[in-house]
């Protein structure tokens, strides 16, 4: 992976800094934050060597990463709430609306993308202390995102959620596996964040609870694992806690990045 990252830099840059930069990258495991930072660094190097360095947005580094991750987490949380609550209402209706269905699918796709961005942007500290856990928390949802997207596209094309699509699985089941992978990755990310203490532990706990509630919620509603009444109760908990956890983590990141609330009342400015 290090060789691949190095190749993204201009040859002139590599000739001067390549060896020592590779040595730095080999010093410790790279997390998603580091990889994103190196990708932006490579872009900056290309622009800088062309005399366009000032156009690069790379400089803010960690602060920029936190801000982007924070906003992505909030956007993802809001869209997850819309998608999950809307899906529960749509499933409960006698005949689901196709417009609502398309809106929900779009929400899921955008929410998935936003959550992946949040996982990268907010994982700087976690990847230092728990690299395997953090990478797993990114890789599982990334695979899930591909599956979920395949399932959503298949449903949109076929217009039928039950027809067999791939490997004997229905498009609906594939998209469900994708969402489940994203929820599982969110749970791992919540654990890594809790352990590192880099963002709010209360928000991490909320996200973990929301993610964990998903399993019995899906089993209760679709699989009959738990009594239906309890299943719906757990489902409501998951629909509230999972998005709220991501939103709280996003706000926690923006609070770190943002200005401190200092009152200068009475000061002569």
Partner 1 sequence: METRIPELGRFAEPALLILVSLSDGPKHGYAIMADVEAGTGRPLGPGTLYAALARLEERGLIEALAPVDRRRPYRLTAVGATILAEQLHELSEFAQLGLKRLARSSG
Binding site for partner 1 (CB under 8 A): 13, 16-17, 19-25, 27, 33-34, 36-42, 44-45, 48, 53-54, 56-62, 65, 124-125, 128, 262-268
* Bridge partner list, 170: 164
| Nearer CB in complex with partner 1: 94/265 | 265
Instruction: For residue 178, give both structure tokens.
Output: 């994708």
In whole angstroms, give the CA distance from residue 131 to residue 124. Answer: 10
Work out how close the CB of 105 gets to partner 1 at its nearest, in angstroms, rounded to a whole number. 35
Work out how close the CB of 196 gets to partner 1 at its nearest, in angstroms, rounded to a whole number. 11
In whole angstroms, give the CA distance from residue 260 to residue 269. Answer: 18
Work out how close the CB of 213 gets to partner 1 at its nearest, in angstroms, rounded to a whole number. 32
| Nearer CB in complex with partner 1: 24/132 | 24
In whole angstroms, give the CA distance from residue 131 to residue 118. Answer: 16
Work out how close the CB of 14 gets to partner 1 at its nearest, in angstroms, rounded to a whole number. 11
Burial class of residue 155, CB neighbours in 10 A (0-12, 13-18, 19+):
buried
Work out how close the CB of 16 gets to partner 1 at its nearest, in angstroms, rounded to a whole number. 8
Q: Which of 102, 103, 72, 104 is nearest to 88 (CA)?
A: 104
| Nearer CB in complex with partner 1: 41/243 | 41
Count the Cβ atoms, other than its own, within 10 Å of residue 58. Answer: 18
| Nearer CB in complex with partner 1: 35/75 | 35
| Nearer CB in complex with partner 1: 14/96 | 14
């Amino acid at each position: 992976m290090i060789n691949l990252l190095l190749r993204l830099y201009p040859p002139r840059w590599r000739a001067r800094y390549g060896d020592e930069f590779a040595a730095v990258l080999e010093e410790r495991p790279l997390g998603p934050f580091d990889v994103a930072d190196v990708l932006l660094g490579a872009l900056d190097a290309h622009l800088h060597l062309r005399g366009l360095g000032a156009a690069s947005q790379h400089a803010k580094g960690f602060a920029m990463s936190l801000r982007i991750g924070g906003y992505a987490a909030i956007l993802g949380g809001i869209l997850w709430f819309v998608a999950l609550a809307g899906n529960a209402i749509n499933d409960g209706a006698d005949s689901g609306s196709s417009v609502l269905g398309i809106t929900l699918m779009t929400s899921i796709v955008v929410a998935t993308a936003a959550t992946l961005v949040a996982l990268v942007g907010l994982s700087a500290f976690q990847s230092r202390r728990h690299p395997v856990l953090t990478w797993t928390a990114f890789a599982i949802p990334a695979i899930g995102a591909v599956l979920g997207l395949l399932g959503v596209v298949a449903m949109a094309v076929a217009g039928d959620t039950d027809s067999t699509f791939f490997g004997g699985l229905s498009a609906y089941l594939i998209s469900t596996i994708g969402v489940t992978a994203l929820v599982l990755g969110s749970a791992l990310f919540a654990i890594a964040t809790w352990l590192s203490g880099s963002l709010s532990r209360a928000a991490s706990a909320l996200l973990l609870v929301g993610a964990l509630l998903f399993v019995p919620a899906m089993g209760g509603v679709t699989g009959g694992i738990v009594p239906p009444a309890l299943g719906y109760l757990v489902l409501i908990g998951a629909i509230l806690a999972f998005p709220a956890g991501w939103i709280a983590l996003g706000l926690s990141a923006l609070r770190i990045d943002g200005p401190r609330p200092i009152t200068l009342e009475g000061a002569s400015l």
